[in-house]
Structure formats: structure tokens, C-alpha cells
Structure 1
């Protein structure tokens, strides 16, 4: 669905130093012995094929040309010097896209990009050949015939007009040929379905896609479609997906849990469309791409896409969720998942679904989530005095509010405990702003103590001189911050879900004094105190340099 330029993203990468004079280079299953040229590139020869391998800084790219064919970039599988592996590509980059005009144009653009700045004679020759091919095969067909699903659905598509480019954009387009509107407005004769197709001539993280929209519903097609020009030549072809509908995820990263668990059951039948239309990264890309298009038909389709996406996002704050706890890399991680889907994932504990891996680490869960017993409650007067004492701790830079809350909270908590006061922590995760300032946080934390009020009730009070002028209740502390997420505030215990923002929700959690960061971290108390002390020292020096 989304393609990466060959050789630019790697799992293992080691820089070849000057003492390496040659290497065995595997390219798409072929092993070649390639000497290293004085220009620092590897020149390989295979019959009549010219092969140049360059270090891109991210990995290795092999630019090849056979006979009169246009030059292309091929994936370098492995580079070794006979005794050690110097580079090895990730397995998931090995898939190939079907041949098409768009692919050939993309291949030649990749040649120019990969060999930029390389002065080797063969590099200059290959770049010249690539530019000549692009000159004779300009990308971006104005009109296309689009078929989906073995030609069962046929559409006529017209490319959107590109707005007037700036001088800098024009230079980029001349070099790479990709600064243009590459969205198409498509219609099926006799249908009121609205179709917006993204059919780029570049391999990009946002690969080709077709979005079909009708009556407030949307269906995303990321495979099993083909676009041909009026001359019948295949312009672009996306191979049919195998198995279940592929869940749209632009991150290209292995998820810690099945991403479909976070899709509300209401959208299960169209989960890929849901993720596509509610994903913030995709929205940002769409906004940039939309800015290149000037034709009204494309803008109208973008407006409809945004409307449907907004309706879906509005439903996120209403979705029924449950917390799901799972061990990941030796730590307990928490996620919001669809409540219905979460029921079969583990056991129910304090309203949360707990995976068996967490049950095996149950003592650790209790240690970080359950505050230590309170043997003595503070009075309302005593908690205000404690706030004043904390505010007067000269080595804690409360005036540096942009960062360091985790360090302030940990140092204060330990000092309170040395005073015989049981300390806890309160965490808030969300899109947070401090009114009247330019300060923005994605999370904040402060120490908490328990107070016995005059009417006999017990309430948690927050000690946070960086935010308030006195000790306040947890609700008052939360209210001091503006919240960008408009959904409900979710109250829970540590470890708390870090994906609350995906559901337009702010999360507030209570923990023991042990956790040091929003994510459960396997570090010692000595490491926590050492890091906290160093951070506060550095921020104090920053304030001192500003005369504060």
C-alpha cells in the first residue's frame, strides 16, 4: 500500500570505512563481488549490466542499467567484506510493485535522488539517462481509466489542476517532478458515488489510494485497482491485498498490540477507512497535498472527506473503551481498546483487562499502581504549610515550567516521605496548555498527599508550585490546564493508557510514588534520583543565566 524508496531504510547499518577496498554485495538475490572505487562507490559488473552501489547515509542503493533500458534503483539485500556483515536490509522491503508507467517514472526519480552529489563518471551517466527518460515520459496523466476489483468497478478520472508554484517549488518540480496535484476526481457513469483517488508517480509513505464516498460513508481501497491512460498503457497498478482488509497505518512500525483492537466496533466493517480518516498524520499529509490542488472538483472532494472524517472523530469520544494491560519489553503498558473486543484479551482486575503476562508480574503492578498506606493524614492547614515548604526548596527550579515535572515530582515525593508524609503522584496525559503562557505539555505530573478535612472527609491534594499558588485538590489541579481534547476526562490508576488522545480524551491517573515517567520503566531508584537531580541542576542553571 505504501512504498519506500529501495535501500533508504534499514534494520542494520554499519558505515564502510576507508580500509574496505571491496565487498560482496547481494542485490535482489544475486551476489556480486564489487571493488570500491577511489570516489568511494562500488562498481559492479554483470554481463552488459552497469551497476553502481552508493552509501546513501541511510543504507545502500544500487543503481543499475542494462542495455538501452532506463536506469533504476534496486534494493541492496546485504553488504559484507568476507568476515562481517556491514549492512542488511529489512525483510519487509523486499516486495515488488507491478510494472507501470508511474513505477518507471518513480524508479528514475529515485536514481537522481540516490546519486545526487556523486561525481563518479558512471553516476553522471546514469543521472543523465534518468533525466532524459523523465523528459520523454512526463508523469501525471491528465485523464485515466480506473478499474477496481478485476474490472468490476470502472471509473473515469481527471487529474486536479496544480496551483501556481513558487520559485522554490518550481525548482524542486524541475528536479524531481513531484510538486504537483496528484489527486484525481473520478466518476462512475450513472452513479452518485464520489471518488477521490491519489495516484502519485512517487513511491511515498502515503502510497496510492482510492476513497469512495457516498451518503456520509467512506470506503478506502489500497489495493486491487489499476489505472490506465487513454492510450491503454498501464499508468499505475496496485496488487490485490491478501487475507482480511489491511488496516491503514502510516507508521510502518510493528505495533505492540493489534491496531484493530483500537477501532470502535461500530466501524469494524470499514476499519481501514476509519483509521485513514481519523489519523492525524494522514490529515497533515492531506492538508499539504490539498494545498497543491486548485480545481474546485478536487477541493469539493476534500471537503466531503473532511466532513466524513470529522463525524468519525466526533464518535471517538463516545466510543465504549476498556483499559488493556500487557507486558511489553519488560514493562507494563496500558492501552484503550474497544470494550467489546477487549473482553476476550485477559482477566478483569479493577475494571481493567489484564493480560496473563501482567498477572505473572502482579507484584510489580501493585507496587506502581497502589499508593502506600497512609498512617497520618494532614490537616488543611498542614497541607498548605507543606506547599510553602516545597515552594521554598531552592534546588527545585519551579520557574522552569517547560520541562522537568517528572524530576520535580520525584524529588518532592522522596522529601515528603523523609518527613513521614505518605506521597503519591497524579498524572495527566493529553493536549495541555497553561493559560496565559506559551507552555504546552503532552503530560504533567506532581506529588499528591492525603488530607483529612474539617468535615472528616479524606481528599487528595496536589503540591505543584510550578502551576498553582497553593495546595489544591486533584480536580482543581486539572482545571488549571486548558485541554485540547474535548472528550471526557478518564480517571484511572497507573500505568495509564497513552493513547487517550486517539479517542479525544484526557487521562488522569493516580500512582504510588514509584513511577518516574508516563511509561513504566525498569530503572532503579538510584537511577531515578541521579537523573532527577541532574535535570533539576541543569534547569536551575538555565534560570540563573536568565537572571531568574
Structure 2
């Protein structure tokens, strides 16, 4: 929700340009494109082939290309050269970019993609009815294609309930045992496939056996690459998964590298509860194997050494917690963070730059003024901390005080909010304590009753010092998933830990006000 506002307010995608092209592949491109001014789509034709690119409600570029009676959806990346935008299939060689990739493409992911596209197209259709009826037919055809894709996918899943086989990298084609009420299908002696459409669970489990015949995860487990029926694939392995630095693979133990999804599922309490409901319907052999594998994941998890890594991905500084064994070569450590050479240089852009020291009285005055800022919607503390922080440091600058920003991430819980959250940010100023020292003081009416030192600020959000890492910017938003908390201070020009571009002061203020106005409307 927060990123929606930013994307819409800043108009990141210049979709209404008069000169527009769409490139789906080396063999299929479109130069005959229309970009209506009031409908967020680009419609293209090339002979009997068509392409549509649109911005959905979350600001993402999506596309569909129709060729020879078949339709393919694709993610889109915009490149602007000499002021002219071209929309590329994000898999194009033209796009040298890593993407966060799931380990498998499954009915879940496909259905989510279709639902997202369908909702966006239906919204565009309603706009086109009022603003541009010339493209209405193209949009309705797009909507119809999505319906066809949805029905075909449901047919594939339905058939897989009776017939299913898998293909592995080492063992070739293996038929799965289907004549059972157990959703855990046994596919040969080294693979399970949890096939449970009613719960939207489609997950392979690859394993070997130790000398005693017990199921065991190893580094060399043969992976299921595809699960299919006569009508099509139910599951496909994404080749990009292991090579992308934005996936969860580096968070898994070495022995689970052929089973990252299974590993994280076994660590999820909800999945454990699910297994308890289905195991009674399975054979004793399956039950024993699943229990053995579950115990191993717990043991492997207990021995993991997670470290905070800052690196540059897609030209943007990024951070995450990973298994220490997967640290890039030549990483250096500073504080509790590891850096690649490129990221350490980039991180210098975020160092604190506050100038000047203020008095206790001035710090109190800034706190009182911030608390009285009605546009900060203090009654809605579940979201918007980074927008509030931006407007507070802007107010402080007008008062002649250049503040920095203090960040923390992990499991956070405050008396002011009934629900836990995963990261927080607030302004930090530097105060003369009257004894010859300067103290960092955080101004945060969301959790405190006055200016507080960082330790107290963290304590008010339930942060345990034993699990606290002093890291570099950006703080890792996955700290909560590995049982850690982070703390760092950056300059005031940072806005959000997941921002992909450095925004100007005007852009940050505009986006912050738009978000808080939206939150304020929720209270009415």
C-alpha cells in the first residue's frame, strides 16, 4: 500500500509518451503502439499479433502478447532512451537485472498473476468506457484471454488429481502414487510431491536415504524440475532461482540447497499444523520419512550462522540476512555488517550528516511540535513511520536543526500499537547533555513521551539487546525471520529501506504527505 502511493505520486512510469515501442522478444516487437492519455495502457499491433502493456493498481508494469491464437503474459521493464520509452519483456537480454524469484512456478503463483492482471484490466476497461472507447475492444479481448488462461490452469490441476508424474535432473520421469487420500504423493524412492489444491499447496521434497534407510536431505539431492499431467505442467523449477541474490536460497543450510521451499515450510508453525492434519491419511512409511526430514530441518536451522550482508543489486544498495557459508568472496566486515567492495563504497552515501548540537530544551520543543503536527496521523501508527520521519526532519530543518534518521528492524511491539511490526524509523538529533558530552536523542511521539536515547527507544519496542546488530544502511527487513534486530543511523535523505532510487527532498515530502493523507482518510 505504501509503495503504491509513492509510485502513483511520483509518476515513475512515463506511460503516456507519444512515441512508444514494445519488445517481447528478438523476433517479435511492436512499433505501432497507442498510449491513450487517460487509460494506463499501451496497445500495440504487428500484423495479426497484439501486445498490451498496463500499469496495475500496485504500480507494476504488466504485459500480454497474443500470437497465433495463444496468449502469453510477461513482466515488463521500461527503458527510456533520448526521451523515448520502450517497454521490454523483463526476460530480454536487454535487461541486465536480477529479480526476486520464487523457487517454483506453481498454480498458486500463476493464479495470483492472472488475478492481478485481470483486476487491472477490468479497472482499465471501466476507465476506457468513459475516456477512450477506441481501445475498449482490445482491453476486453485481454480480459477474455485471461479468463481462458484461468480455465486452462484449473483443468490442468483437476487432471493432476488422478494422474501426475515428475521429471528430475538425475532420475528422469517418475510416476507418482495417486491412489490414496494422502496429499503427500510418493514419486519413486527419493521424492515426495505435496499436491493439495484445496489448500493451494504444491511442493516437491527431494531427499536421499542414509545407511540405515532413513530419509535425509543432502547437498546432492536430485531436484524435481517439473511436475505435470497430460494437459500441462503443475509445477516448474525456475532456473533463475539459485543464481539470483534476491532469493531466499542463501538463507537455507547447505544440505537444503535442493529444497529451500521445503526447508522454510518445515520451519513454519502453520505448515507443521497442516502436516498434523494430513499425516493420519498417509502410510506409516511416508509418516516416518516426513518426521525424519522435519527433525533434520530443525537441527540444521539450530546450527545456522546468520550474518547481515550489504551489497549492490541492480545498481541499488540492498541488505539481507544470509547463511554465513554463502558470503560472497572478499566481503569485508564493519560493525555487525558484511559488505561487498561495491556496497561499502555505496554505503558512504548514507552516513549521518547532521550538523550542530542543540540543547535539552530545544529537543523537547521539537518533540512537542512534532506531536502537534496533525498531518502525521498519530492515531494510525500501524503504518507510515517513514513518511512521518520525513515530515518531522523537514520541520526540524525549518527550525534550523539538521536531523538524521534512526532505523530498527526485527520483531517490534509497542504499547501504542496492538500489533507487532517489522521495522521503524524516527528522527535523531544530537543534544549537549551539559556535562561536556553529546547524546543521540530520538524524537518519536509514536512510541515515546519525549526525546529518548537509542537504547530506551529500542526498549520501548521490545528489542532484546542480545539479538541486536549494529548494522549499516539499509537495515534488513528480513531480520524478524531470523530472530534478529537491527539498529542503524543514516542521513536524512534516506526515505525507505526498499527504495530503488534516491529521491529528491521535494519527491520525499510529496510522497510522505500523500501516504499520510491516505492513512488519515481511513480514520474518517
TM-score, length basis structure 1 = 0.56
Note if contact 2:310-2:317 (Cα within 8 Å) is conserved in structure 1: no
Note if contact 1:370-1:511 (Cα within 8 Å) is conserved in structure 2: yes
- In structure 2, the CA distance between the partners of 1:292 and 1:141, relative to structure 1 (3 Å rule), is farther
How many residue pairs match? The answer is 410
Note if contact 1:290-1:302 (Cα within 8 Å) is conserved in structure 2: no
Alpha-carbon displacement from aligned partner over 1:207-256 (angstroms, at most 9, x marks no partner): 644344666942454248999xxxxx9999999x9xxxxxx879969734
What's 1:371 paired with?
353
Q: Which runs of 5+ in 1 are unaligned?
A: 1-9, 26-56, 64-72, 78-84, 93-105, 163-180, 189-194, 228-232, 242-247
Note if contact 1:416-1:423 (Cα within 8 Å) is conserved in structure 2: yes
- Map 1:533-544; keep pairs closer than 5 Å: 533-543=513-523
Q: What CA distance in whole angstroms lies between the structure 2 residues aligned with 1:288 and 1:480?
A: 35
Q: What CA distance in whole angstroms lies between the structure 1 residues aligned with 2:393 and 2:503?
A: 17
- In structure 2, the CA distance between the partners of 1:134 and 1:251, relative to structure 1 (3 Å rule), is closer
Note if contact 2:206-2:258 (Cα within 8 Å) is conserved in structure 1: no
Q: What CA distance in whole angstroms lies between the structure 1 residues aligned with 2:522 and 2:168?
A: 61
The yes-or-no answer on 1:218 pairing with 2:217 is yes
- In structure 2, the CA distance between the partners of 1:283 and 1:225, relative to structure 1 (3 Å rule), is farther
Q: What CA distance in whole angstroms lies between the structure 1 residues aligned with 2:68 and 2:269?
A: 34
What's 1:307 paired with?
295
Note if contact 1:367-1:514 (Cα within 8 Å) is conserved in structure 2: no
- In structure 2, the CA distance between the partners of 1:337 and 1:21, relative to structure 1 (3 Å rule), is closer
Q: What CA distance in whole angstroms lies between the structure 1 residues aligned with 2:46 and 2:259?
A: 51
Give the SS at the match of 1:395.
helix
Q: What CA distance in whole angstroms lies between the structure 2 residues aligned with 1:251 and 1:339?
A: 21
- Map 1:32-431; keep pairs closer than 5 Å: 139-140=161-162, 149=170, 161-162=180-181, 181-184=182-185, 197-198=192-193, 206=202, 208-212=204-208, 217-219=216-218, 220-223=221-224, 255-256=244-245, 262-263=250-251, 267-273=253-259, 276-278=262-264, 294-297=280-283, 298-299=286-287, 301-316=289-304, 319-326=305-312, 328-339=313-324, 341-342=326-327, 344-346=329-331, 352-358=337-343, 362=345, 365-373=347-355, 375-379=356-360, 382-431=362-411
Note if contact 2:337-2:472 (Cα within 8 Å) is conserved in structure 1: no
What's 1:166 paired with?
none
Q: What CA distance in whole angstroms lies between the structure 2 residues aligned with 1:537 and 1:333?
A: 29
- 1:529 Cα offset (Å): 1.4
- 1:409 Cα offset (Å): 0.7
What's 1:54 paired with?
none
What's 2:439 paired with?
459
Q: What CA distance in whole angstroms lies between the structure 1 residues aligned with 2:157 and 2:387?
A: 56
Note if contact 1:372-1:512 (Cα within 8 Å) is conserved in structure 2: yes
Q: What CA distance in whole angstroms lies between the structure 2 residues aligned with 1:505 and 1:416?
A: 31
Give the SS at the match of 1:332.
strand
- In structure 2, the CA distance between the partners of 1:358 and 1:378, relative to structure 1 (3 Å rule), is same
- 1:198 Cα offset (Å): 0.8
- In structure 2, the CA distance between the partners of 1:182 and 1:140, relative to structure 1 (3 Å rule), is farther
User: Higher helix share goes to which structure?
Assistant: 2
What's 2:477 paired with?
498
Q: What CA distance in whole angstroms lies between the structure 2 residues aligned with 1:470 and 1:401?
A: 17
Note if contact 1:400-1:539 (Cα within 8 Å) is conserved in structure 2: yes
TM-score, length basis structure 2 = 0.58
RMSD: 5.7
Q: What CA distance in whole angstroms lies between the structure 2 residues aligned with 1:385 and 1:524?
A: 27
Q: Which runs of 5+ in 2 are unaligned?
A: 1-23, 35-40, 51-62, 75-85, 94-106, 115-140
- In structure 2, the CA distance between the partners of 1:303 and 1:201, relative to structure 1 (3 Å rule), is closer
Bigger drift between 443-452 and 300-309 goes to: 300-309
Give the SS at the match of 2:366.
helix
Note if contact 1:249-1:275 (Cα within 8 Å) is conserved in structure 2: no
- In structure 2, the CA distance between the partners of 1:272 and 1:487, relative to structure 1 (3 Å rule), is farther
The yes-or-no answer on 1:509 pairing with 2:483 is no
Note if contact 1:435-1:482 (Cα within 8 Å) is conserved in structure 2: no
- 1:522 Cα offset (Å): 1.7
- 1:76 Cα offset (Å): 9.8
Alpha-carbon displacement from aligned partner over 1:489-514 (angstroms, at most 9, x marks no partner): 22223223334344332222211112
The yes-or-no answer on 1:526 pairing with 2:481 is no
